Amino acid sequence: MVLSARGLSKSFGAFSAVRNVDLDIHHARVHALIGPNGAGKTTVFNLLTKFLQPTAGSITLLGSDITKTPPDKVARMGLVRSFQISAVFPHLSVLDNVRVALQRPNGLSTQFWLPASSLDRLNQQADALIETVGLKRERDAVAADLSYGRKRVLEIATTLALDPKVLLLDEPMAGMGQEDIGAVSNIIREVAKTRAVLMVEHNLSVVSDICHQVTVLQRGEILAEGDYETVAKDERVRLAYMGTEDA
Amino acid sequence: MSDVMHTTSTARTGRSATASRTYAAFLGIGLVLLIVAPLFFYPIFLMKLLCFALFACAFNLLLGYTGLLSFGHATFFGGAAYFTAHAVKEWAVTPEIGILVGVLGAAALGLIMGFFAIRRQGIYFAMITLALAQMFFFFCLQAEFTHGEDGIQSVPRGHLFGLVDLNDTTSMYYFVLGVFLIGMIVIWRFINSPFGMILKSIRENEQRAISLGYSVARYKLGAFVMSAALAGLAGGTKALVFQFATLTDVGWQMSGEVILMTLLGGIGTLIGPIFGAGLVVTLQNYLATSQFPVTIITGVVFMVCVLVFRRGIIGEFYASRLGRRLGFEHRR
């Protein structure tokens, strides 16, 4: 187990967005967090990555308590996330987006006396990542010019650049065409061989295809847990999320 | 789609090369003009212009490349003027050491102000910097070494490295030009460095930068201190040019003036603030003897710029058809 949460809760005034959530994320497994809109999935993501401070509960990453750790330190410890709305550096090129992610792990982020060309040594690594996610032809394009789906792919490339131990993907397939969905599913399946992946995803065919474990949230609480087949057969889930017909 | 994107990428690379050639050409012409300028213009006016141009560029380093609007940069400009003036007059150090004292003092002030302000954003950041700058203003008003409202007068220019007499106006001009060029090279290197790339990424998407493990507050503080030190370089040099340091340079009006210069020239452009400073200093200089209050003129120019040229003079030029043809691309 690489990431776990116990009794995780978050309230905004009188509104309780997440209540008493327990999660265990394991190495080399893809774990999906699903639920209807407003179920608290992204709030759980923000709590786990420390972009939000929990009202109650604790979070442990690789054996260390990170309940009070700031988000940048959590990222440096190996827990890296993507965002629901594609988070790229819009006026930087695709190559520069990936290089920015590579700068810190390669010790090239504080040198104000070195020329920008000193970052060229990261090109080989960046090009490999760009090729992995299929953005080779757009390498020198400005990120703002990419389609929404390609921006999501770029975000995955920058996330992978950190070689995280735990990867949190917030709706990675949102806005993607069918062709990209297949390619990104393969990428996630591949990267999950050597790390834990937790993803929020609405595309249930993707969830059934690549996820080993599914947690269903409803109104900030866990409704059901298990593999996809188990969850899909759960009557409460079918009623609350998937409908009464076949999931 | 991909083909179109590939073509766009190639075109962008081509424009970048054109921009580099255009920059090099403008740089060469600009250098020649600066070298021969004392033959055509009053050297003291030129030196004042260079000091304010460097001050505006230092301010732009923070606003244009980090997105932080400081309302207290007069602290570093005026503070360095006091430190340099005191060191040169009371400790009898050479002018280059005096300026170094000013730069270090400004950097220390920047570290203190930045420590308190950097974790706030927008109007809160601006207000904290303004409040701290006002505190420093009253410190300068009360402190013994600043001589209150009289300021430090009759500051000797001294001999550069103990050799070159800076009382000679021509020598002083080329010394100031040298300081200006060093400051600009430092700014250029800073923004075109691995550190500068992280600053740009923070300006573009702070949340994403945090999620990639960057301690954003530390990078902002680094930029703040560097901006303060360079503003100090400008302030210390100005104290030697005019041979005095007064409360005028630490007042809130000076902080407002540098914002005006930067906005007029173009935020986030390397040379925009130079043009903005040139415009403001020229207006102040040539309207100084006029009956018409210069502040009204600069106010009108500012309003026209905000309403019509929102990117500033150089920013609008970059965004124009000619600017794009020359390979410039303006971005905030």
Give the pLDDT confidence score for residue A244 in this predicted structure. Answer: 52
Nearest to A100 among B8, B193, B198 (CB): B198
Q: Write out pLDDT tens, residues A203-243.
A: 888 999 999 999 999 889 999 999 988 888 888 888 776 55
Q: For A147, which residue in chain B has the nearest alpha carbon? A: B1
Confidence of residue B15 (pLDDT cuts 50, 70, 90): low
Nearest to B262 by CA among B84, B20, B52, B89: B52
- Residue-level length of chain B: 332
What torsion, rounded to 10 degrees, do the Cα atoms B83, B89, B94, B100 define? 0
Give the pLDDT confidence score for residue B4 in this predicted structure. Answer: 45
Looking at the DSSP bridge assignments, the partners of residue A16 are A11
| Backbone angles phi and psi of A31, in degrees to 5 | -115, 125
pLDDT > 70 fraction of chain B, expressed in percent and rounded: 93
Distances, alpha carbon A194 to alpha carbons A159, A167, A200, in Å:
15, 11, 20
Give the pLDDT confidence score for residue B62 in this predicted structure. Answer: 92
Contacts of A120 in chain B (CB under 8 A): none
Contacts of B213 in chain A (CB under 8 A): 72-73, 75-76, 80, 104, 162
Would you say residue A189 has pLDDT above 80? yes
Q: Are A217 and A33 in contact (CB under 8 A)?
A: yes
Q: Write out pLDDT tens, residues B87-118.
A: 999 998 999 999 999 999 999 999 999 999 99
Strand blocks (E) in chain B = 159-160, 164-165
Mark yes or no for CB contact A87/B207 under 8 Å.
yes
Q: Write out pLDDT tens, residues A22-58.
A: 999 999 999 999 988 888 999 999 999 999 999 999 9
Distance CA B314, CA B274 (A): 10
Q: Which residue has the tokens 């009053």?
A: B42
Question: Any idea where the domains of chain A sit in the sequence?
Answer: 3-242
Mark yes or no for CB contact A100/B197 under 8 Å.
yes
Would you say residue B8 has pLDDT above 70? no
Instruction: Give the strand pairing for A56-61 and A3-12.
Output: antiparallel
Mark yes or no for CB contact B194/A96 under 8 Å.
no
Confidence of residue B163 (pLDDT cuts 50, 70, 90): confident
Nearest to A103 among B194, B208, B210 (CB): B194
Q: Which helix (H) or strand (E) holds B143?
A: none
Q: Which helix (H) or strand (E) holds A197?
A: strand A196-200
What's B152's DSSP letter? B
Would you say residue B262 has pLDDT above 70? yes
Give the pLDDT confidence score for residue B245 in this predicted structure. Answer: 92
Distance CA A183, CA A200 (A): 18
Fold type of domain A3-242: Rossmann fold (3.40.50)
Would you say residue B300 has pLDDT above 90? no
CA angle A110, A116, A117 (to 5 degrees): 125
Distance CA A151, CA A133 (A): 11
Q: Which residue has the tokens 């990104």?
A: A184
Would you say residue B12 has pLDDT above 60? no
Q: Are A146 and A92 in contact (CB under 8 A)?
A: no
Q: Write out pLDDT tens, residues A146-179.
A: 988 888 889 989 999 999 999 999 988 887 778 7
Chain A touched by B210 (CB under 8 Å): yes
Distances, alpha carbon B268 to alpha carbons A236, B206, B241, B274, in Å:
55, 17, 28, 12
Give the pLDDT confidence score for residue A242 in this predicted structure. Answer: 55
Distance CA B328, CA B269 (A): 10
Q: Write out pLDDT tens, residues B202-218.
A: 999 999 999 999 999 99
Nearest to B60 by CA among B269, B318, B306, B315: B269
Give the pLDDT confidence score for residue A83 in this predicted structure. Answer: 85
Chain A touched by B6 (CB under 8 Å): yes
Confidence of residue B14 (pLDDT cuts 50, 70, 90): low
Which 218-237 residues of chain B touch chain A by CB within 8 A? 222, 226
Q: Which residue has the tokens 């452009």?
A: B269
Nearest to B211 among A75, A96, A139 (CB): A75
Distance CA B295, CA B51 (A): 20
Half-sphere exposure of B251 (CA within 13 A, CB side): 10
Give the pLDDT confidence score for residue A52 in this predicted structure. Answer: 95
Q: For A161, which residue in chain B has the nearest alpha carbon? A: B212
Q: First-to-last CA distance in chain B?
A: 27
Distance CA B301, CA B309 (A): 10
Q: Quick one: average pLDDT of A123-144?
A: 92
Mark yes or no for CB contact B198/A162 under 8 Å.
no
Give the pLDDT confidence score for residue A236 in this predicted structure. Answer: 85
Q: Which of the residues B2, B13, B208 would you substitute to probe the A interface, choosing the one with the greatest number of A C-beta atoms within 10 Å?
A: B208
Nearest to A138 among B2, B212, B215 (CB): B2
Distance CA B261, CA B281 (A): 9
Q: How close, in Å, is residue B312 to chain A by CA atoms? A: 19
Q: Quick one: average pLDDT of B263-281?
A: 88
Nearest to A96 by CA among B10, B198, B2: B198
Instruction: Give the strand pairing for A196-200 and A166-170.
Output: parallel
Mark yes or no for CB contact A141/B12 under 8 Å.
yes
Q: For A45, which residue in chain B has the nearest alpha carbon? A: B211
- The arrangement of strands across the sheet holding A15-25 comes to A15-25, A3-12, A56-61, A64-65
Give the pLDDT confidence score for residue A125 in this predicted structure. Answer: 95
Chain A touched by B216 (CB under 8 Å): yes
What count of CB pairs under 8 Å joins A to B? 124
Burial (Cβ within 10 Å: 0-12, 13-18, ≥19) of residue B28? exposed
How high is the mean pLDDT of chain B?
A: 87
Dump the DSSP string for A95-158.
Answer: HHHHHHHHHTTTT-SS-SSS-GGGGGGGHHHHHHHHHHTT-GGGTTSBGGGS-HHHHHHHHHHH
Q: First-to-last CA distance in chain A?
A: 29
Distances, alpha carbon A109 to alpha carbons A143, B105, B148, B166, in Å:
21, 26, 44, 40
Confidence of residue B311 (pLDDT cuts 50, 70, 90): confident
Dump the DSSP string for A44-58.
Answer: HHHHHTTSS--SEEE
- The arrangement of strands across the sheet holding A221-226 comes to A79-81, A166-170, A196-200, A30-34, A213-218, A221-226
Chain A touched by B212 (CB under 8 Å): yes
Q: For B13, which residue in chain A has the nearest alpha carbon? A: A140
Nearest to A137 among B5, B204, B205 (CB): B5
**Which pair of tokens denotes residue B88?**
């040169």
